[in-house]
Amino acid sequence: MLEFIEVLKSNGFMQNAFVIGLLASLACGVIGTYVVVKRIVFISGGISHTVLGGMGIAYFYGYDPMHGALVSALLAALIIGFVSLRYHQYEDTIIGALWAIGMAVGILFIYKTPGYNVDLMSYLFGNILLVERASVWQLAGLDALIIFLVLLFYKRFLAVCFDEEYSELQGVGVVSTYLLLLCLIALTVVILIQVVGIILVIALLTLPAATARYYARSLGKMMILASILGAVFTSSGLMVSYGPNLPAGATIIVIAGLAYLLATVLKGLALRFHGSSH
């Protein structure tokens, strides 16, 4: 722990990693809460995996893969949103296909990019310790945009997540609100990829929120608690992984997963002994 704090003081990349972890926690706490209560984990998984296609194409043509990720995440959110609204019956099949095609396209482009292909692994599993200072500012901007939009649309998101039918009767544009929410998930995915990579994004998006759900009575409190949990998971993951030189992303997810399992067991015991939680 002390050793880690020393490193944090002197090592610029570790500082970047630490800050990105906190930025990611805020985004995954707030947006992950919607993903969990609206039960759109699979849709979010579709968005996050399709992103590899955009990253691969950007990488091949010499653009910043993060910009490719941003464009493809938003595009995937709109396409998948349209599919889930229009072809609800085949939703899971179509999203599963998009998920796989996106990844396959990404792998083809990365494979054909000249040079040494070390980047594929860091896209898939993240490499938080290699993020530049400039990216930190970009991610902070994305974070601010997400929080701003959530504050603006908070009551509409709440209404649409809880009761779509009644929201429609109240004149809330259910389709546009839903698509906006998916776009915010896309922005969050871009931030989280920096921390844990494409494959593990869905875990960081859902585990803190799912754990917070056991203890929160309102959506707002769930968001705050999930963000705090996310910060604890990412910071402790960085700390634990540093000494034995473990991959940070995977360490963070293992910690988050264990915390979730522990919370689930504790909740189960509490229900057994007290009958009901409230």
Partner 1 sequence: MNKKETVVEVSHVDFAYDGPLVLEDITLTVEEGDFLGVVGPNGSGKTTLLKIILGLLHPMRGQVRVFGQAPEKARHLISYVPQHADLDASFPISVMDVVLIGRLRKAPALGRYRKSDRQAAEEAMREAEIETLRNRRFGTLSGGQKQRVLMARALVGKPELLLLDEPTASIDGRVEQGIYELLEKLNERVTIVLVSHDLGFISTYVNHVACVNRRLVCNPTRQITGDVIEACYGGPVHMLKHKCEL
- Which residues of the chain form contacts with partner 1 (CB under 8 A)? 37, 151-156, 158-159, 161-163, 165-172, 213, 216-219, 221-222, 276-278
Question: Would you say 171 or 244 has its CB closer to partner 1?
Answer: 171
Q: How far apart are CA 26 and CA 109, in angstroms?
A: 32
Q: How far apart are CA 134 and CA 211, in angstroms?
A: 32
Alpha helices in the chain (DSSP H): 2-10, 12-37, 41-60, 65-86, 91-112, 119-125, 133-162, 164-169, 174-213, 219-242, 248-274
Q: How far apart are CA 51 and CA 256, in angstroms?
A: 23
Question: Would you say 10 or 218 has its CB closer to partner 1?
Answer: 218
Nearest approach in angstroms of CB 277 to partner 1 is: 8
DSSP 88: G
Question: Would you say 218 or 245 has its CB closer to partner 1?
Answer: 218
Q: Are 128 and 17 in contact (CB under 8 A)?
A: yes
Alpha-carbon dihedral of residues 163, 165, 171, 174, nearest 10 degrees?
A: 80
Nearest approach in angstroms of CB 144 to partner 1 is: 17
Question: Would you say 9 or 278 has its CB closer to partner 1?
Answer: 278
Specify the residue for token string 């990365």: 110
Question: Would you say 32 or 102 has its CB closer to partner 1?
Answer: 32
Nearest approach in angstroms of CB 271 to partner 1 is: 13
Q: How far apart are CA 152 and CA 144, in angstroms?
A: 12
Token pair, residue 274, equals: 């007290």
Nearest approach in angstroms of CB 155 to partner 1 is: 6
Q: Are 146 and 27 in contact (CB under 8 A)?
A: yes
Question: Would you say 109 or 157 has its CB closer to partner 1?
Answer: 157
Nearest approach in angstroms of CB 18 to partner 1 is: 30
Nearest approach in angstroms of CB 192 to partner 1 is: 22
Nearest approach in angstroms of CB 255 to partner 1 is: 24
Specify the residue for token string 């839903």: 178
Question: Would you say 10 or 276 has its CB closer to partner 1?
Answer: 276
